[in-house]
Structure 1
Amino acid sequence: MAGCCHDDQCSQTTTPNSTRWRRVLWVALAVNAAMFLAEIVAGVAAGSAALQADAIDFLGDSANYAISLGVAGMALGWRARAALVKGWSLALLGAAVLASTVWHALAGTLPQAETMSIVGVLALLANVGVAVMLFRFRTGDSNMRSVWICSRNDVIGNIAVLLAAVGVFGTGTAWPDLVVATIMAALGITGGWQIINAARADLSRQAEGEVSSPPVEAT
């Protein structure tokens, strides 16, 4: 029956050190690193705050996947601590995007809508592919959930970039670009906070388990 699996198959899918999980992370890391390079160059060339914000997000996700690969197979506490670091990093990146958006607003930069559209479509296709691969891991531990949250935010951000390109083209102003960059910054901050809360919950569960475990008597 579709959507069902035996217990051993399900556990293999959601195990933090499973071959499938690590393979997906490697693919996601490669895609995000390549898209960061492409978008940061295009964003600077086009003068788009939204593209630059999305590029920074790709950079943050690359680090996210690299850290997840590093802690795969470790104890829950270490995976939760890694997720905590990623949560704070994502929130700080969101704050950096917000600061960059303010700078673009003050500078009065008018982005190139055509470049935004082309790069935005490529980024959307890349992120949808990654999100589809990560969807089955969305209910794992805080580390797995952190990866899924970042991927989900990427897809939302890419759609927003495309809408910004349409807005810039239609209005001839930079405001759609600035509004979308602000929304993406907010997504980064709120997504980071969700990851932080999940990581703290995992750390609390681990601490409770250690306290409740009876001490081992010396023989």
Structure 2
Amino acid sequence: MFAIGIALNLGYVVAEGVAGFLYQSVALLADAGHNLSDVLGLAVAWGGAALARTAPSKRFTYGLKGSTILAALANALLLLVAIGAIALEAVQRFGSAPAVPGLTVSAVAALGIVVNAITAWLFARGRKGDVNVRGAYLHMLADALVSAGVVAAGVAIWLTGAAWIDPLVSLVIAVVIFWQTWGLLRETVEMSLAAVPRGIDYDRVKDALAALPGVEAIHDLHIWPMSTTEPSLTAHLHIPAGHPGDVFLEDVQAMLHERFGIGHTTVQIETGTACTLADERTV
């Protein structure tokens, strides 16, 4: 799936980039840059997924699951650099925009709609059960819409002869990429700082643990992403009546996985009151 998507998009990037240089269309070059970022994103996501399967070691006790977070952060930073280059070129073109063959631009961009739509279809089946796959699906779908915008720009240039439409569309594409990138950057920075993953409500998790039989207090509750798809949790549960046994722990793990998607859980049962981590300000 990743290999096919990368091959399709890489082939189109080359064709679109060559066409952009030949016909001096900054809109095509901007879209090619966007699609190249998709190729890099798919490649990094593929590589991150492969590294995440690395077995734990004495040095990396969680394996290399966190590599998916680093890969996503690197992608966001590279995209910001690409956005700056696209915007700079577009602004410079406004002063002396060269003549652009509108119908040719539209034809090349129309091919992009087909490529991105096929790639989105490849990820459509697995998008409901995997956040990474769903992200790739939505990204490819958005790219098809961006290519549609370039098609419309080409038609508008052909009808009006207004060369300034080309750099204008490239700026719009840069804004679209920035909008996608900003959300990715924020989320990956949060993940790298071990923030509670988006989609998990800390208070709801705490209330669910507090509602367990025998639990009188909870402290040292931490929820963080071990990778871009695997949330982890640790918590201390105060149960004065005594340790409830292994079945209780298994039930806690099953509940957290079913209700919140947290698959890696470590729970410490405490029957006394003396715990140095009971203060919420203590980590």
| TM-score bucket of the superposed structures, by smaller chain | 0.7 to 0.9
2:165 alignment partner in structure 1: 176
Among candidates 93, 106, 116, match of residue 82 of structure 2:
93
CA contact (8 A) 2:120 2:136 kept: no
**Superposed CA offset, 1:85-107 (max 9, x none):** 11222232222211121122223
CA contact (8 A) 1:83 1:146 kept: no
Matched to 1:206, the amino acid is: P
Higher RCO (CA-CA < 8 Å; seq separation 6+): 1
1:206 alignment partner in structure 2: 225
User: C-alpha distance in 1, partners of 2:147/2:12?
Assistant: 12
SS in structure 1 of the partner of residue 181 of structure 2: helix
1:48 alignment partner in structure 2: 25
Range with greater deviation from structure 2 (180-189 or 128-137): 128-137
CA RMSD of aligned residues (A): 2.3
1:127 alignment partner in structure 2: 116
**Superposed CA offset, 1:106-140 (max 9, x none):** 23212111210211111111111111222345563
1:192 alignment partner in structure 2: 181
Matched to 1:106, the amino acid is: G
User: C-alpha distance in 2, partners of 1:201/1:128?
Assistant: 31
The answer for unaligned runs of 5 or more in structure 2 is 53-63, 196-223, 236-265, 269-283
Range with greater deviation from structure 2 (90-99 or 183-192): 90-99
User: C-alpha distance in 1, partners of 2:77/2:90?
Assistant: 20
**Superposed CA offset, 1:187-209 (max 9, x none):** 11111112123334544222784
Percent identical? 25
SS in structure 2 of the partner of residue 174 of structure 1: coil
User: C-alpha distance in 2, partners of 1:36/1:42?
Assistant: 10
User: C-alpha distance in 2, partners of 1:106/1:147?
Assistant: 37
User: C-alpha distance in 1, partners of 2:36/2:153?
Assistant: 21
Structure 1 residues 68 and 27 mapped into 2: Cα distance closer, same or farther (>3 Å)?
same
Cα shift at 1:146: 4.7
Structure of larger gyration radius? 2
2:36 alignment partner in structure 1: 59
CA contact (8 A) 1:117 1:165 kept: yes
User: C-alpha distance in 2, partners of 1:189/1:118?
Assistant: 25
User: C-alpha distance in 1, partners of 2:114/2:101?
Assistant: 20
Q: Which has the higher strand share?
A: 2
Cα shift at 1:35: 0.7
**Superposed CA offset, 1:11-39 (max 9, x none):** xxxxxxxxxxxxx2111100111011100
Cα shift at 1:76: 4.5
The answer for unaligned runs of 5 or more in structure 1 is 1-23
Structure 1 runs (4+) greater than 3 angstroms displaced: 135-141, 143-146, 200-203, 207-215
2:7 alignment partner in structure 1: 30
Among candidates 67, 85, 91, match of residue 78 of structure 1:
67
1:69 alignment partner in structure 2: 46
User: C-alpha distance in 2, partners of 1:82/1:61?
Assistant: 13
